[in-house]
């Protein structure tokens, strides 16, 4: 059963009660992500997330770590392009303790100077680790070039030079600008009583206000092209992508099926042709993301330099085929069955239910039953998929980043 309450400061509390669960999952969703940063603030959203674990007015960093372990479940946080989320899953009896802990971390972090210096080094190590991972680094390089000098294209972790200069005043000023009660959704799913959660949340957040004007979000822009980044590696890592439909776009169902058919699972065309039939790559897949006003569809792979040309020719062939030919009925039915199974199986996990609940509220302002999502996918026709393919799979709209041994390699988008 879904229930929603809006507090006096416009913070939203939403729940989906499922008494058959023994556990409950809760998330504090702050609609503040790396897209809310200016060029001089790159990485501050992620820095705020890290610093929440370093201590509050009531708990030290060790207290927080011990309490996370003592509740016997899971507790973590993540930063994205449009949200920062503090979340956890515990046995239902421990939910009040988890809400108290997460609320304290969000509302009362100390940002002690000494802790800030230590966490600065941790984040720098995280950036170094990303730079040492070619599969991650090619994604960062693609975003920087395809989305350009725009918050959407800057790395969520930040850049080393700016992280090295961050001061406590910068963190406090940014927090004051982007943490706002009307932009917070607190979602819970599983064995949870709605009014009990509302009372818990209200006891912590009722005095939280932000009277400063909200920041306008800068629209994203794309800059198609091909970019090579020579590096001494065994493989060439490549990332291709295009702007796709937003979360609320009616085409999202057709785009989702296009992604699954293209490279979303083991029976997808890219996996079957490039790995199983041609043996050109160990890993190749497509990925699809939805945001408030835009989306992104991409392809990623790692390949030996000698096989790069053959791999790209095979990819171009599959993209051309999706535009030129309607998907056969049996293949479309299989993709729909895959998605239906994934949706209902994920619904067996209250943590996943909580995240779906929050995303629906953020993007649609409402609850969307699983049956409606499945019905939307089942209604997609082969003609609708082909129409979306013809719109999205236009080479002049795409970007491609390649990282690795590029000597003598000449590549272009040709589909």
Task: Indicate whether 41 belongs to any domain.
Answer: yes
pLDDT band, very low/low/confident/very high, at 298 (cuts 50, 70, 90): very high
Instruction: Over range 352-369, report the average pLDDT.
Output: 97
| Short-list 132, 108, 112, 339, CA closest to 231 | 132
CA distance 331 to 337: 10
Q: 33: domain range?
A: 2-205
The tally of domains found in the chain comes to 2
Last residue of a domain, one of 149, 172, 205: 205
Q: pLDDT tens digits, residue range 91-113?
A: 999 999 999 999 999 999 999 99
C-alpha distance across the termini of the chain, in Å = 47
Same-domain pairing of 246 and 135 = no
Catalytic annotation, pick one of 16, 37, 41, 49: 49
pLDDT of residue 76: 96
Same-domain pairing of 135 and 260 = no
- Give pTM, 2 decimals: 0.96
Residue 180 has pLDDT above 90, yes or no: yes
Q: Say which CATH number the domain at 358 has.
A: 3.30.830.10
Q: pLDDT tens digits, residue range 378-411?
A: 999 999 999 999 999 999 999 999 999 998 888 9
Instruction: Let me know if 125 is a catalytic residue.
Output: no
Cα 161–chain centre separation:
25
Same-domain pairing of 397 and 253 = yes
pLDDT of residue 79: 98
CB atoms within 10 A of CB 215: 14
Same-domain pairing of 85 and 199 = yes
Same-domain pairing of 189 and 326 = no
pLDDT band, very low/low/confident/very high, at 346 (cuts 50, 70, 90): very high
Same-domain pairing of 172 and 242 = no
Percentage of the chain lying above the pLDDT 70 cut: 100
């Amino acid at each position: 059963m879904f229930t929603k309450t809006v507090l006096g400061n416009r913070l939203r509390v939403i729940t989906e009660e499922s008494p058959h669960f023994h556990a409950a999952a809760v998330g504090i969703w702050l609609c503040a992500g790396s897209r809310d940063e200016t060029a001089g603030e790159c990485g501050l959203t992620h820095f705020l997330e890290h610093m929440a674990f370093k201590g509050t007015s009531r708990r030290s960093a060790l207290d927080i770590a011990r309490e996370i372990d003592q509740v016997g479940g899971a507790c973590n946080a993540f930063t994205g392009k449009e949200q920062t989320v503090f979340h956890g899953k515990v046995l239902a009896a421990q939910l009040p303790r988890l809400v108290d802990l997460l609320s304290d971390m969000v509302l009362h972090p100390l940002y002690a100077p000494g802790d800030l210096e230590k966490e600065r080094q941790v984040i720098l190590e995280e950036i170094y680790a990303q730079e040492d991972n070619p599969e991650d680094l090619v994604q960062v390089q693609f975003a920087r070039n395809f989305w350009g000098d725009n918050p959407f294209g800057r790395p969520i972790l930040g850049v080393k030079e700016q992280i090295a200069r961050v001061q406590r005043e910068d963190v406090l000023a940014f927090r004051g600008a982007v943490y706002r009660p009307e932009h917070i959704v607190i979602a819970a799913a599983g064995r949870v009583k709605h009014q009990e959660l509302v009372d818990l949340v209200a006891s912590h957040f009722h005095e939280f206000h932000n009277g400063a004007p909200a920041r306008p979000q800068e629209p994203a822009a794309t800059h198609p092209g091909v970019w090579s980044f020579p590096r001494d590696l065994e493989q060439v890592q490549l990332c291709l992508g295009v702007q796709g439909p937003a979360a609320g776009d009616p085409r999202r169902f057709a785009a989702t099926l296009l992604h699954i058919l293209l490279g979303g699972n083991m029976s997808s065309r890219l996996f079957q042709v490039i790995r199983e039939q041609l043996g050109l790559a160990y890993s190749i897949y497509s990925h699809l993301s939805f945001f408030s006003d835009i989306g992104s569809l991409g392809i990623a792979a790692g390949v030996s330099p000698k096989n790069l040309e053959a791999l790209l020719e095979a990819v171009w062939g599959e993209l051309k085929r999706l535009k030129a030919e309607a998907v056969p009925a049996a293949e479309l039915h299989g993709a729909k069955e895959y998605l239906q199974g994934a949706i209902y199986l994920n619904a067996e996990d209250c943590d996943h239910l909580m995240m779906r609940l929050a995303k629906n509220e953020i993007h649609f302002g409402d609850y969307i039953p699983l049956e409606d999502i499945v019905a939307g996918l089942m209604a997609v026709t082969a003609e609708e998929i082909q129409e979306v393919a013809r719109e999205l799979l236009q080479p002049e709209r795409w970007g491609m980043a390649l990282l690795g041994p590029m000597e003598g390699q000449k590549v272009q988008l040709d589909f």
